[in-house]
Structure 1
Amino acid sequence: MLELRNLTKSYSNERRVLDRLSWIFEPGEFVAVMGDSGVGKSTLLNLIAGLDQPDPTDEPAIIVDGTPLASLDDDAATRLRRARMGFIFQAFHVLPHLTLQQNVALPLLMNGLPQGRELDMLDAVGLGGRGHDYPHQLSGGEMQRVAIARALVHRPALVLADEPTGNLDPDTANSILQLLHQELKSSGATTIMVTHSPAAAARADKVLRLTKDGLQVTTVVNPATQ
């Protein structure tokens, strides 16, 4: 579903955070990526999303459903990102001037899909009946629930989650992780979750550690035990 080949990324200060990284993520796999701060975890998500570009060395490639991102122009890359990917951010990025229903419906509107599923997703994340509320009426955990609903409403094939519980208290984080795991397994999306939290990583099928030497499997979790 997602293949990475020879990804290298350096910043303007010549600090290299990724060095010829290669990996294959299987369809429907829920993978947690851990690692020390500054090792390039968020950079990796930005590269996969096409929001940043790898260094032009060693013929790097990011291949989504058989399509190399580098073969797409900006418009085509944007269309693929809108249709095939869902994003869950640590800072939520819920739009304050839109209702919860409008926030969750955005991917449907942007992809020209029928509306209505946004109400089902609000129900699924425990916010049924609150579609006309605004983000300022929500707690942090509730806003993260809206972000999850929005990320999954258009049934993306690939979900990228960057520290989705980083700003939440332990009880709320556990509730969000349970919800996220349930919804992702139901949708069958391939998911890559960057996290510092062992509790969050334990929800995944596989835990990878990102180091200067690339991605390394540290734990394979049996989904039946979760």
Structure 2
Amino acid sequence: MLELRHLSKSYVPGRPVLADVSWTFKAGEFVAIMGDSGVGKSTLLNLIAGLDTPDATPDAKPGASPILVDGIAMSGLDDDAATRLRRSRMGFIFQAFHVLPHLTLLQNVALPLLLNGLSTTRAAEMLEAVGLGGRGRDFPHQLSGGEMQRVAIARALVHRPALVLADEPTGNLDPDTANSILELLQREIKATGACAIMVTHSQLAAKKTDKILQLSRNGMQEIDCVNPFAQ
């Protein structure tokens, strides 16, 4: 579903945030990415989404791309094509929510459906699924941070994306709500065959996934899911 090939990113020459990261993510997988602060976890999600541009690889073959989504080379897309791909195939859960303040909760969640020319019926269903049923006419300023996070999660999943990118999706939630949201992600992935990649510092959240990857300055490696945090 998603392939990373020798992906690197530097904002200051000679000081890479990410260096030579390669991995293949399969459809139907729920994957957690963990690592120390500053190793590039959020940068990795932004690069996958096409919101940032990876460094050129000096020895790469002509036309090669370090990021492929469903076999499509992200580096080969112009801005319009990349936007269409994100709109139709991806769902995003950002730490900053990006909930639109001038829209109601229902309108916020329905936005991906409208942009893709789909029926908006599922928007109310997703608000119900994240515990905000009956509040569709409320506005974001009436919500707590945790409630806005749940709106963002409902919006990311409403159009049944093939690739879900989640940056600390449970960071603003109490333990019970976090658990229910992770179970919702699991159900959606199973129902749609999507691939979900979740950046998290939470060991409890990571243990809900199918696979845990550790990102470091030396690249990315899988952690044993049976006893992932044993010393």
How does the TM-score come out when normalised to structure 1?
0.92
Does structure 2 retain, via aligned residues, the 8 Å contact 1:144–1:176?
no
Tell me which residue corresponds to 1:19: 19
* 1:4-47 CA distance string (max 9 Å, x none): 00101111253212111110001010000000111111110011
Tell me which residue corresponds to 2:131: 126
Return the alpha-carbon distance in structure 1 between the equivalents of residues 176 and 126 of structure 2.
Answer: 22
Letter in 2 for 1:118: A
| Partner SS, residue 90 of structure 1 | coil
Return the alpha-carbon distance in structure 2 between the equivalents of residues 221 and 202 of structure 1.
Answer: 9
Matched, 1:216 2:225: no
Tell me which residue corresponds to 1:42: 42
TM-aligned CA deviation for residue 126 of structure 1: 2.0
TM-aligned CA deviation for residue 111 of structure 1: 1.5
Return the alpha-carbon distance in structure 2 between the equivalents of residues 127 and 168 of structure 1.
Answer: 14
Does structure 1 retain, via aligned residues, the 8 Å contact 2:214–2:223?
yes
Give the alignment of 1:108-147 within 5 angstroms.
108-147=113-152
Alpha carbons of structure 1 residues 128 and 167: separation in structure 2 relative to 1, 3 Å: closer
Letter in 2 for 1:159: V
Unaligned runs of 5+ in 2: none
* 1:152-201 CA distance string (max 9 Å, x none): 11110000000112233444433433333333333332000001110110
Does structure 2 retain, via aligned residues, the 8 Å contact 1:208–1:219?
no
Larger displacement relative to structure 2 (26-35 or 133-142): 133-142
Tell me which residue corresponds to 2:104: 99
| Partner SS, residue 165 of structure 2 | strand
| Partner SS, residue 22 of structure 1 | strand
Does structure 2 retain, via aligned residues, the 8 Å contact 1:208–1:216?
yes
Give the alignment of 1:1-226 within 5 angstroms.
1-12=1-12, 14-57=14-57, 58-59=59-60, 60-220=65-225
Return the alpha-carbon distance in structure 2 between the equivalents of residues 85 and 8 of structure 1.
Answer: 22
TM-aligned CA deviation for residue 92 of structure 1: 1.5
Does structure 2 retain, via aligned residues, the 8 Å contact 1:141–1:173?
no
User: Identity across aligned pairs (percent)?
Assistant: 73
Alpha carbons of structure 1 residues 221 and 76: separation in structure 2 relative to 1, 3 Å: farther
Letter in 2 for 1:33: I
Does structure 1 retain, via aligned residues, the 8 Å contact 2:6–2:66?
yes
Does structure 2 retain, via aligned residues, the 8 Å contact 1:90–1:165?
no
Larger displacement relative to structure 2 (67-76 or 116-125): 116-125
Alpha carbons of structure 1 residues 82 and 31: separation in structure 2 relative to 1, 3 Å: same
Return the alpha-carbon distance in structure 2 between the equivalents of residues 61 and 37 of structure 1.
Answer: 23
Return the alpha-carbon distance in structure 2 between the equivalents of residues 147 and 101 of structure 1.
Answer: 11
Does structure 2 retain, via aligned residues, the 8 Å contact 1:205–1:221?
no
Return the alpha-carbon distance in structure 2 between the equivalents of residues 206 and 98 of structure 1.
Answer: 36
* 1:99-154 CA distance string (max 9 Å, x none): 01100011111122222111121122222222111112222222222111100111
Which runs of 4 or more aligned residues in structure 1 lie more than 6 Å from their structure 2 counterparts after TM superposition? Answer: none
